[in-house]
Amino acid sequence: MISKKMEDAFNDQITAEFYSAHLYLSMSAYLESIDLPGCAHWMRIQYQEEVSHASKMFDYLIERDGRAIIKGLDAPQVEWKSILDIFKATFEHEQNVTGLINNLVDLALAEKDHASNIFLQWFVNEQVEEESTVKGIIQQLKLLGDSKAGLFQMDREMRQRVFTPPPAST
């Protein structure tokens, strides 16, 4: 059985993951509005990943005899200055999520909740991948500068991203 303190922390993280999903869906809508369907698709996949992360934590809480509580979400941002600003905001957001995951790990260690610590290691590794991927996209966008042909090609490449569900927790 999971402690009440860990249960509350997981519920807060589930809310954060659903907020991330809404943020990325909002970014996808914005990218569609500026005629970058490939980048919009990339963000739609990001949305799916975040929903799957929240679901993975939801299932974990239930598996540990905890209670998952779905909370309300703040409205995400809907406008950005440029595609580079979107990906910079994505990188900053992922850094924030990394901090939240690290705090959960710290709490699991303090609570001597070894099962949660092990469960959370997947998310620790996922955050390393998330930050690295977005940082790479930012670097590509900086290299492109004002090249419309380069942006067109990058948009086509972003369309190739495929959603891969995370492994089950058990």
Give me the CATH number covering residue 51.
1.20.1260.10
How confident is the prediction along the chain (170 residues), in pLDDT tens digits per residue?
Answer: 999 999 999 999 999 999 999 999 999 999 999 999 999 999 999 999 999 999 999 999 999 999 999 999 999 999 999 999 999 999 999 999 999 999 999 999 999 999 999 999 999 999 999 999 999 999 999 999 999 999 999 999 999 999 988 887 54
pLDDT (0 to 100) of residue 81:
96
Residue 16: which residues within 8 A CB-CB, separation 6 or more?
97, 100
CB 27 within 8 A of CB 90: yes
How many angstroms separate the CA atoms of 168 and 170, rounded? 6
Is residue 95, in this structure, part of any structural domain at all? yes
Helix segments in 34-146, DSSP class H: 37-63, 83-110, 114-144
Closest C-alpha to 138, from 78, 96, 93: 93
User: Domain containing 81: what range?
Assistant: 4-158
Does 127 map to a domain?
Answer: yes
Coil, helix or strand at residue 62: helix
Is residue 167 one of the residues assigned to a domain?
A: no
Is residue 135 one of the residues assigned to a domain? yes
pLDDT at residue 57, rounded to an integer: 97
pLDDT of res. 20: 98
168 in a structural domain: no
pTM (2 d.p.): 0.94
**pLDDT value of residue 24:** 98
Does residue 33 lie in a domain region?
Answer: yes
Within-domain flag for 169: no
Q: How many residues are present in the chain? A: 170
Residue 164 forms part of a structural domain:
no
Token pair for residue 164?
């891969």
Domains held by the chain: number: 1
Please report the sign of the dihedral spanned by the C-alpha atoms of residue 45, residue 90, residue 14, residue 5: positive
Alpha-carbon dihedral of residues 77, 85, 154, 157, nearest 10 degrees? -40
Residues 6 or more apart from 170 whose CB is under 8 A from it?
63
